[in-house]
Structure 1
């Protein structure tokens, strides 16, 4: 019997394109301040680096803003200068500048934010978990509906330098900020004791700190939404809703019963 040998047919394989969503190298906390200026109208461009800031016409304003930022960090005990341990690599940091304006377009404040380059952090070394819970949109709708229906008092609060209050668990070392390197201590680095904007775990550590403080004041966490807190004292009651560093506070007095 003769067996015919068939030549193998070439396979027409289509190349599959990756469906994975590309993630930016920089975290939101790092570049949100940079992108904010893109939507401003009729405003001057803010400096993109320390060098540009000190060479700008408003260099005195930017220096004052940077000194104010560092004073805030000093009060919160954000870091202390130490020798870099052998085998450790410090992360970098960057000044981010933003001109804040009022509703009339007039300059209200010159803001300088020191931001850590969190994109250089190594998972398992500089951070473990980054997830931070926030209140849901449904919770916000319920709160607003209660305010409208019962004519309650509603207050909105924004916590300034919120992330600087979070305690760090990991050992993280950061280079000294540009323009403010301590004389005769140039070789030292900042050992972070509190979280700082730009760190991957900054939002998570802020939430833990907020949760600890409000519970110590008698607030109880809502079992259906862990970012809603409630407190009852006599006829008074308060609901508190947290979304990152924004807080909605709803308070009222229970009506007397008809009994």
Structure 2
């Protein structure tokens, strides 16, 4: 419990910060808090020698600038910082004239979850850091000119412009320049870059390993040796100015809680924000995100609804699946009708929000106990899409009891049999398993004969049969790589009973009892940590479908 002194300090600190975000520069200049925030940003520019005031050369174009304002809250929602950022209006840049190459790698969400799963298995703490003004560290080689920041024009030379020597937020080439600057700094200090994931950097000392995962300017890291973490902090401080360091608690929208039993990942704050945004905070709750007896289908005679609202709801829910995989099937089915949504489709989307209202704190649970073996589940429905009768592929991948990856996607071809649909789904799951196998090589894990559990014997026979007979020759060649990978011993297909198929979560709807049992399968938690078993067991008995 927080003491009265701490409460008083929070209240006192909040008095010096603005709680209202200004809409434009005129409003910002009327508030001393935001004036100080803008001056702090410009001070960083001066320290980093970002630009130089010059006359605009003839024939050159000056890019406009604008201010962005944002309140930075802590995990309790209390504003702890007023952040003003000056950005360049990069949309006025022309490719081939103002910039050439702009691509910069960004970490996949699966890579973030693999990092956290590895941290839970090795039982070490994960830390995060944020580079202050990260884009300002990258030298820019092109001649780029920007106008003076609004509200802070030089009174003596109001018509001059700034020539950039460092990248500025908003420029197309800024992310690439920052990645090159950061990666060069790490490689110069003995780090190695991941063979598959270029945003993963590793450093080994004897038996200890330091892992660094980069998401633009947000960095998480951890090591089996605390001294290596200290060394990494010093390496970063020697080149960059860090604005925050500490244990991982909030990273790219994911809330991460590290306890004595494991790591809990959820997005309860985001759920609360969504319910408020779409005015669903007072709705009645429901036990499942989709109705098992009512499949969503085209409704040409139904009343149309606002496309912008519908697409906004779908996009928000898709981001929520980063820690709530069991709503993915319902969201993906609703997403198929974004071009012309009807009232019946909006009702289905609102049902997902009603479910979230009753279960706002559920998330992924990565226990410290348990093995670190890679295995996968693969499943498919047959002709489930009411639009074109295409099947849906579902799959999920585990590292011991830790769910790190999942898929739900409508297949590109119409399958003529259940065996074909299951075979194509197994091929998609195999692709994800291969990516994970290669990703885990950087963590010094070499997995061979990774088991993929499927519930269709015919699909297993097609994989084992090297003869192209009449009933399988129509299947596209790209799906037959599953057979080749199986022969090489990288994966192995294992039969699992339909009642024990965890990938069913991504291909169909369930009755409330069965659904609640699946998501309570030692994988998810409601914010309460408990000791876990070694992982989901495909051979144990589940409750029947009719419960």
- TM-score greater than 0.5 by the shorter chain: yes
* 1:26 alignment counterpart: none
Describe the SS at the equivalent of 1:157.
strand
Tell me what 1:174 maps to: 146
Residue 392 of structure 2 corresponds to none
Looking at structure 2, the residues matched to 195 and 65 of structure 1 have their Cα atoms a distance apart, in angstroms, of 20
Q: Secondary structure at the match of 2:53?
A: strand
Deviations along 1:89-134, one digit per CA (max 9) or x if unpaired, are: 1000001112233344443222211111111111111111221101
* TM-score, normalised by the number of residues in structure 2: 0.37
Partners in 1 of 2:161 and 2:53 — Cα distance? 5
C-alpha distance in structure 2 between counterparts of 1:191 and 1:158, whole Å: 27
**2:94 is aligned with 1:122:** yes
Tell me the CA shift for residue 184 of structure 1. Answer: 1.6
Q: Quick one: distance in 2 between partners of 1:182 and 1:47?
A: 23
Pair 1:54-2:26 in alignment: no
**Which residue of the partner structure matches residue 241 of structure 1?**
213
The structure with the largest strand share of the pair is 1
| 1:237 to partner: Cα distance | 2.1
Distance 2:71 2:50 in 1: 24
Structure with more of its chain in helix, by fraction: 2
Q: Provide structure 1 residue ranges, at least 5 long, that are not aligned to the other structure.
A: 1-42, 254-259
CA distance in 1, matches of 2:207, 2:54: 52
Q: How far apart are 1:164 and its partner, in Å?
A: 1.4
2:104 maps to 132
CA deviations on 1:60-94 (whole Å, 9 max, x unpaired) are 11111111000011111111111111100100000
Residues 147 and 161 in structure 2, CA contact (< 8 A), matched pair in contact too: yes
Report how far residue 45 of structure 1 moved. Answer: 4.7
Count of paired positions: 208
Aligned to 1:169, the other structure's residue is in SS state coil
Residue 228 of structure 1 deviates from its aligned partner by 0.8
* Structure of higher RCO (CA pairs closer than 8 Å, 6+ residues apart): 1
CA deviation after TM superposition for structure 1 residue 215, in Å: 0.7
For 2:49 and 2:68, the matched residues in 1 are separated by 21
Residue by residue over 1:134-174, the C-alpha shift from the partner in whole angstroms, topping out at 9 and shown as x without a partner, is: 12233223222211112123112222211111221211000
1:3-14 to 2 correspondence within 5 Å? Answer: none
TM-score, length of structure 1 as denominator length? 0.75
Cα deviation per residue 1:46-68 (whole Å; 9 max; x = unaligned)?
Answer: 2222112123xxx1111111110
How far apart are the structure 2 equivalents of 1:113 and 1:183? 22
Distance (whole Å) between structure 2 residues aligned to residue 204 and residue 100 of structure 1: 26
Alignment partner of 1:67 is 2:35: no
Superposed, which structure 2 residues align to 1:1-259 within 5 Å? 45-55=20-30, 59-253=31-225
Q: Contact conserved, 2:19 with 2:79, CA < 8 A, in 1? A: no
Q: Runs of 5+ in structure 2 lacking a partner?
A: 1-17, 226-547
CA deviation digits over 1:15-46, x for unaligned, max 9?
xxxxxxxxxxxxxxxxxxxxxxxxxxxx9652
Structure 2: distance between partners of 1:241 and 1:70: 29
